[in-house]
Structure 1
Amino acid sequence: MKNFPATLTLIALTTPAFADVTISHGFSTFGDLKYGPEFTHFDYANPDAPQGGTMSQRQLFGTPTFDSLNTFIIKGDSAPEVGVHIYDSLMVRANDEPDALYGLIAETIEYPDDFSYVAFNMRPEARFHDGTPVTAADVVFTINALQTEGHPYYRNLLSDVTAVTAESATRVRFDLAPGAGSGLLGSVAELPVLPAHFYDTVDFAESWMDIPLGSGPYEVTTVDAPRTITFCKDPDYWGADLPVNVGRNNFDCFTYEYFVDDTVGLEAFAAGEYHMRVEYRSASWATGYDFPAAQRGWVQQLLIPDGRPANAQGIWFNMRNPVLQDIRVRQALEYAFNFEWTNETIFYGTYTRNDSFFENTDMQAIGIPEGAELALLEEFRDQLPPEIFTEPAHVPNPGGDRPRDRGDLRRAGALLEAAGWTVGDDGMRRNAAGEVLHLEFPDSSRSLERVMIPYTENLKALGIDVDFEVIDPSSWTQRRQAFDFDLSSTAWSVATTPGAELRAFYGSAAADAEGSNNLTGLADPVVDALIEKVVVASTREELTTAVRALDRVLRSKHIWVGGWNLGSHRVAVWDIFGIPETPAPYDFFRNVDFWWFDRDKYDALVAEGALDSGL
């Protein structure tokens, strides 16, 4: 692994003498902070939370397997929990504010009013787990590595970072491109800080199973890939008493159990082999919790509200395939998905359809553009279809009460005919050259088969030769990274304050980057321009206007079959935990850091024979 210099300078920028400079304990994209410099803990934290015990749970985000502990590159199937527990960042988000961060490794943040740079004054007491100080040189190493060899997500996110300089051992400065926008400050502030010396013997750009070194509250203690990974608290954790950590990190250990087959995972939960799971399957939630422990009240089903935007979840079209470059074909594929029947029959009526890429927010485009949104879109009128200005934002057809809605299939068939795909004597769609309309739809989720098979049967009824196959997770990862698919069922999380990360999902620069999050291959100058409007927004009103315009344009392109959302998290727990009475509205997965182990509840279940002792 190459050693990166402590100073990376691409473009030297200076700050005008007349620029106002802010130095603060916290940062918000639009300037509003709930907590002052003397705050002692977040309101949703319990400063008297008991310490100890183990939080054991199913793997995060439904990731079915892992073969790597390097979470920053495209190679391998990494364990996402590594990024959650072992690395500290310069600042950390408050889960009861939409975009505020407060100092962790950084004691203060400094920036001018033109956002031409951002500097962080770091706490000298910050330490990695091996006792080595966390320095500005480690920050420089981290950014350099992510920009040059990291996952495309990071490369896109950091594209406006033009220079990083370690001005002293405890002060690091980022110079930012003109127009980078205030949101980038928060993005760099919450990146993990990696230990440069660890990578003297470990290659950053490769997949590996070495125990990574961090500076966070937990260390990796046990790895049994691809089944289990355990993190236990560093007893000498340097930041335990900081205000952002009071009432947090209460468990001695976190253990994650991996299951490729979620049916097996639920059975293991019912038997008490682990004690918390986020339930992604509506059928399991409705019918799967009838086992004895649940009937006796030892296991509870919690519906925890989610204040974040819904995931951008759906079936994405890979427009790198020339067949899918025709918008009429993509519209036909939309008509073939019967959400209403799927929701009532398979999902027990629990979901709402995703109309928008920013669902469940005021950033979702609604109706015909008006006011500031209309004025923004007018800048691109000659590059947009006329219906953008005259018709409401696209809402997908809901479907009907039968799995195969004839009216929708007729509409889909007409679109395919207009696109030159006609039905032959054998019932297959062919173009003028006699080529069959063939689509590859690989997936790694057995639990989604029951949804996707009816959809693909509708596609076959249209005369499309679709190959839907559930493959092993590693193979699917490789195919997705190489864009070796036509359809992909995938969900992306959406930030409460969208910004530069949008480039990674919808920007032209990411369209051809192997392993990028731009699954559709979308490369459109208007989309790029609107993303930049989001990035440089100076008020939340400007941000909302720009995101609505972006949402409207993205929806007009029909790049996906919009999926579904619940607006809450379905969480099943063995009743052995303490949970804050009023959870913070944002970021459920980080809120679990503020739970605690309730020894009395646990001992009571052990006494009843519900659980084995040992935690």
Structure 2
Amino acid sequence: MVRALSKLGLVFSLFGAIALPLQAAAQEPDFRIGSSVISELKYKPGFTHFDYVNPDAPKGGNLNLSTTGTFDTFNPLLSKGETVTGLTLVFETLMKSADDELLASYGLLAEGLSYPDDISSATFRLRKEAKWADGSPVTPEDVVFSFEKSKELNPLLSNYYGHVVKAEKTGERDVTFTFDEKGNKELPNILGQLQVVPKAWWEANGPDGKPRDITKTTLEPVMGSGPYKIGAFSAGSKISYELRDDYWGKDVNVNVGQNNFKTIAYTYFGDRDVEFEGFRAGNVDFWQENQASRWATGYNFPAVKDGRIKREELPNSLRATGIMQAMVPNMRREIFKDERVREALNYAFDFEEMNRTVFFGAYKRVDSFFFGTELASSGLPEGRELEILQGLKDKVPPEIFTTPYSNPVGGDPQKSRDNLRKAIALLKEAGYSIQGNKMVNTKTGKPLSFEVLLSSPTLERVAVPYTQALRKIGIDARVRTVDPSQYTNRVRSFDYDMIWNVWAETMNPGNEQADYWGSASANQQGSRNYAGIADPAVDALIKMIIFAPSREDQIAAIKAMDRVMLARHYVVPLYYRSDIPIAYWDKFDRPAELPTYSTGFPDVWWSKTAK
């Protein structure tokens, strides 16, 4: 699926714990059709489809999409190699999110879920009709296998499911997950997003007569239960997914009006500019723009002028997503362990000048790890947030009680010079001085030198000017852009000085926060704790977020954590915008009203050529 921020395809949707009972009298009364963390579920038992779909959308037509990089595996669980884009079309989860509600999900492979009042476990009941592509039923054994292999083979998922100690079959169609802690409202809903793979298929022999091995990469087309199957492909460069006529779930309420294209194909490009030329030429149907300069000046060509290409700026997907886009210094490196060094790095980034000269004023400076949402901290702490921070007074920076966080402001030569002087002063406090035009550690004599590792040349337009500014104060900062495979491997093993990263936060932060910022993940290869944060205050606040007794307490703990991490200068915040610019060839139709929290593409769109 094409979603702005997914590649686990991997960005997770998290859901909470308010639920409705199943309608069928044959089911136990404590089984629910879905769950929601913030409010009552919008859809009631017996609903036929989501309101934002066209239930009569025609099926057919071809959708040609693009992505950068390469791929060398179809294994959806393994944290090795470059996984192909689009496997969420082939595999399904126990529950499916509703894009017109905040943090709500409904049964997909599972018809319902149940959990005790103390939330010490969760049980999912599979649908009788759920089938794999070969016609065999999806079983509890498949779910248990998928869970166990996810934890075994993927460090990210191992962290995510860290408090789930056991999965077992507890009925003909029931799977029960047992937790090592109570009261975590999020755990049942995290498990609803478990991607389920077929146990029997993976344990059987492949076409070559040899046993398949889920611990290894593979380019054998994998079998799933989803609406599409893998069609033609060329390793590393192109793949096509074909809509299955025999898909078991085509009439399930959460699927009605969706999965409308006959084929969905992805072409891989090594360069984002070349990829855009593919879109201009009509070889790619849909484009999500990530360059403000191109959005402002790069669409002056015939297909746009005569209306064959449409352009829009849609806020939908970001209405429920907090963003932190940042340069991330790796604190496993000695040079970045000192907070003053990290703060100095921020003073060298002149966002205002870059926004004026490069971005055409399209962006805002990120000033929160939950930028753009009600979860972002601001001003000075008060109320419940202040109480929480006072309880951690000996573990948090004292300035958070007296000084609101703010990024340095540049935009003209005088401000830029003043900011660089502040950076030099901070570095001096940290034990550095300028000697012969180089910033040198006064004790060791070593120059302050590091590399900014990038995955795409597109990012160089920001990273290069940033390193040039750093060199003005004697820091030997360099940019190195590598191919996607090398980048992935280096990031997984924390083999970098500084990287560029985007974290996307849902409106219900929970277990994933430990993977992002927790001490336990700091040295666990494959985690998303890219900065190497190991902070007792942050650890305590993560616990408070996960086990918050109320939404008020949760938001207060989130803001407190946000404030602590900003004050510690763990990253150099960059920028973002509040809408998503998209362009597409006029080959599609869509519902008049898109879902509140998603562009709905391509899920609820359809081809004009379909009958």
Deviations 1:343-390 (A, max 9, x none): 111111101111001011111011111001111112211111211222
Greater CA drift, 135-144 or 308-317: 308-317
Give the structure 2 partner of residue 261 of structure 1. Answer: 271
Post-superposition offset of 1:537: 2.4
* Aligned residue in 2 for 1:40: 48
Q: CA deviation at 1:80?
A: 3.3
CA contact (8 A) 1:71 1:80 kept: no
The aligned counterpart of 2:466 is 455
Any idea what the Cα deviations from partners look like across 1:162-204, whole Å, max 9, x if unmatched?
2111113310001112235111211110121111122213322
The 3 A distance-change label for structure 1 pair 534 and 587 is farther
Q: Do the aligned partners of 2:63 and 2:264 also contact (CA within 8 Å) in 1? A: yes
Count residues with an aligned counterpart.
Answer: 575
Instruction: Identify the residue that residue 6 of structure 1 maps to in structure 2.
Output: none
Kindly state the Cα deviation for residue 536 of structure 1 after the two structures are TM-superposed.
1.7
Residue of structure 2 equivalent to 1:197? 200
Structure 1 residues 92-171: aligned runs within 5 Å: 92-150=96-154, 152-171=155-174
Q: Distance in 1 between matches of 2:329 and 2:484?
A: 20
The 1-side partners of 2:236 and 2:415 are apart by: 39
Kept after mapping to 2: 8 A contact 1:299/1:572: yes
Residue 371 (structure 2) aligns with: 359
The CA distance in 1 between the partners of 2:122 and 2:38, in whole Å, is 15
Superposed displacement of residue 450, structure 1: 1.0
Q: Which residue of 1 aligns with 2:6?
A: none
Answer yes or no: is 1:222 the counterpart of 2:232: yes
Instruction: Using the TM superposition, give the Cα deviation of residue 289 of structure 1 relative to its aligned residue in structure 2, in angstroms.
Output: 1.1
Structure 1 stretches of 4+ moved >6 Å = none
RMSD: 1.8
In structure 2, distance between residues paired with 1:121 and 1:349:
51
Note the alpha carbon deviations across 1:215-240, whole angstroms, 9 max, x for none. 11111112213221111111110010
> 2: CA distance between counterparts of 1:71 and 1:295?
41
1:240 & 1:402 partners in 2: Cα distance?
60
Aligned partner letter, 2:126: M
Whether the aligned pair in 1 keeps the contact of 2:38 and 2:102 (CA below 8 Å) is no
- The answer (yes or no) to whether the contact 2:296–2:360 under 8 Å persists in 1 is yes
Deviation at 1:73, TM superposition (A): 2.8
Cα displacement (A) at 1:30: 4.5
**TM-score, scaled to structure 2:** 0.91
One of 560, 566, 591 as aligned partner of 2:577? 566
- The equivalent position to 1:89 in structure 2, one of 88, 93, 96, is 93
Contact 2:132/2:138 (8 A) holds in 1: yes
For residue 539 of structure 1, what is the aligned residue in structure 2? 550
Q: Distance in 1 between matches of 2:498 and 2:29?
A: 48
Instruction: Report how far residue 403 of structure 1 moved.
Output: 11
Alignment correspondent of 1:607: none
Amino acid in structure 2 at the alignment position of 1:57: L
SS in 1 for 2:566: helix
Task: Indicate how the Cα distance of structure 1 residues 518 and 311 shifts in structure 2: closer, same or farther if over 3 A, else same.
Answer: same
Determine whether 1:321 maps to 2:333.
yes
**Structure 2 unaligned runs (5+)?**
1-27, 204-210
| CA distance in 2: counterparts of 1:402 and 1:254, whole angstroms | 50
Secondary structure of the corresponding residue to residue 327 of structure 2: strand
Which residue of 2 is the match for residue 183 of structure 1?
Answer: 186
Query: Retained in 2: the 8 A contact 1:248–1:595?
Result: yes
**How far did residue 123 of structure 1 move?**
0.6
With over 3 angstroms needed to count, the CA separation of the structure-2 counterparts of 1:404 and 1:128, relative to structure 1, is farther
Give the corresponding residue for 2:208.
none
Structure-to-structure mapping, 1:140-539, within 5 angstroms: 140-150=144-154, 152-179=155-182, 181-200=184-203, 201-305=211-315, 306-392=318-404, 394-402=405-413, 405-539=416-550
Q: Partner residue of 2:71?
A: 66
Instruction: Give the TM-score normalised by the residue count of structure 1.
Output: 0.91
On the 8 A contact 1:45/1:248 being kept in 2, the answer is yes
Letter in 1 for 2:66: R
Task: Specify the code of the residue in structure 2 equivalent to 1:540.
Answer: R
1-structure distance, mates of 2:146, 2:48: 30
User: Any conservation in 2 of the 1:338–1:403 contact (CA below 8 Å)?
Assistant: no
Rounded Cα–Cα distance in structure 2 between residues aligned with 1:30 and 1:166:
30
Aligned mate of 1:24, from 25, 28, 32: 32
Cα distance in 2 for partners of 1:335, 1:203 equals: 50
Shift of 1:402: 4.8
Please say which of residues 68-77 and 279-288 is displaced more in the overlay.
Answer: 68-77
Deviation at 1:398, TM superposition (A): 2.9
Query: Do 2:518 and 2:529's aligned partners in 1 also have CA atoms closer than 8 Å?
Result: yes
CA distance in 2, matches of 1:65, 1:403: 45
Evaluate the alpha carbon distance shift between residue 257 and residue 421 of structure 1 in structure 2; reply closer, same or farther with a 3 A threshold. Answer: same
User: What is the match of residue 596 of structure 2?
Assistant: 585
1:235 counterpart SS class = coil
How many Å apart are 1:511 and its aligned residue?
A: 0.7
Equivalent-residue separation in structure 2 for 1:37 and 1:328 (angstroms): 56
Percent of pairs identical after alignment?
38
Q: 8 Å contact 1:341–1:403 — kept in the other structure?
A: no
Contact 1:160–1:180 under 8 Å retained in 2: no
Residue 477 of structure 1 deviates from its aligned partner by 1.4
Gaps of 5+ in 1: 1-19, 601-614
Once the 2 structures are TM-superposed, how far is the Cα of residue 22 of structure 1 from its aligned partner? Answer: 3.5
SS at match of 2:282: coil
- Secondary structure of the equivalent of 2:136? coil
